[in-house]
Amino acid sequence: MRSRSKPLLLDDQVAKSKTRRPRDPAQPNLPFDEMPARIEPALALLKSKAPSGPDWTFEVKFDGYRLAVHIEPGGVRILTRGGHDWTHRFPSIADEAKKLGVGSAILDGEAVVLDKTGRSDFGALQRSLGGRGGKRVSGESVFFAFDLLYFDGHLLTNTELSVRRHLLSDFLDGSTGAIQLSEEVDGDGEKILESACIHGLEGIIAKHRDSKYRSGRTGDWLKIKCVQSESFVVIGYEESSVARGGIGSLLLAGARRHLPEADPR
């Protein structure tokens, strides 16, 4: 049995979200949609404060590689955020996907390596892949699925998040293998963030439960970190007027973090 992720909250702090819209067995059959070769991922917008209100649900912010797992009758493909095929780099996740018992699906989630306490460790994930630019395969990675974009011939991107999560939990709830369900909780956003920080997690992701799946940073998904930080570049300095050889002030410029296209995050 693989490790489970560190819980976002203790069970007595907040209840796990429950399905708000049960499936209707009398719903008519819908026409089949062709499976997309790739769906540009939805991204979380960085915020300093967690949202509040019943329209939001929360998950752990993992520190790993964003992946899409495509399950088709002919096999499994694992695509990075930039669209690179890394199926061969995550063999345990690919093998687990074949055992899920679904005809076709696209799972959106994140591959991580967990430490002994259940926290995601990005350094350990990189080492398992041979470091930046490495070519090794990662046998200890766990894929935490947090969304379902396509299922049994139906494209779900125009369906509410609450319904997509319901379908996803149907076949992943209780899974402890190389593919697991990302925990989702309801409650006060600031209290959930506080609990996440106490647990030593990186932060939380807030998602609007009625939102459709929209690519890019639309504001439907928000990320709130426990440590608020920014990167700056030193472009100049002024000598100290009181300490010989010292620095009195620095001139800084904001720097946007750039990740190569091959980096799946």
Total number of residues shown for the chain = 265
Phi, psi of 140 (to 5 degrees): -100, 5
Residue closest to 3 by CA, chosen among 113, 124, 125: 113
Do 187 and 8 contact (CB within 8 A), yes or no?
A: no
| Complete domains list, the chain, with CATH | 45-254 (3.30.470.30)
pLDDT reading at 99 higher than 80: yes
- Kindly report, residue by residue over 145-186, the tens digit of the pLDDT: 999 999 999 999 999 999 999 999 998 988 889 999 999 999
Report residue 16's pLDDT band, with 50, 70 and 90 as the boundaries.
Answer: very low
Residues 99 and 11: their CA atoms lie apart, in Å, by 29
Q: Which residues are catalytic?
A: 61
- Kindly report, residue by residue over 219-256, the tens digit of the pLDDT: 999 999 998 655 567 777 666 544 556 665 666 675 44
Residue closest to 62 by CA, chosen among 171, 190, 181, 164: 181
pLDDT reading at 69 higher than 50: yes
Report residue 258's pLDDT band, with 50, 70 and 90 as the boundaries.
Answer: very low
Decide the pairing of beta strands 142-151 and 154-155. Answer: antiparallel
Q: Which residues contact 93 (CB under 8 A, 6 or more apart)?
A: 67, 69, 78, 111, 141, 142, 143, 178, 179
Do 149 and 157 contact (CB within 8 A), yes or no?
A: yes
Residues 180 and 175: their CA atoms lie apart, in Å, by 5
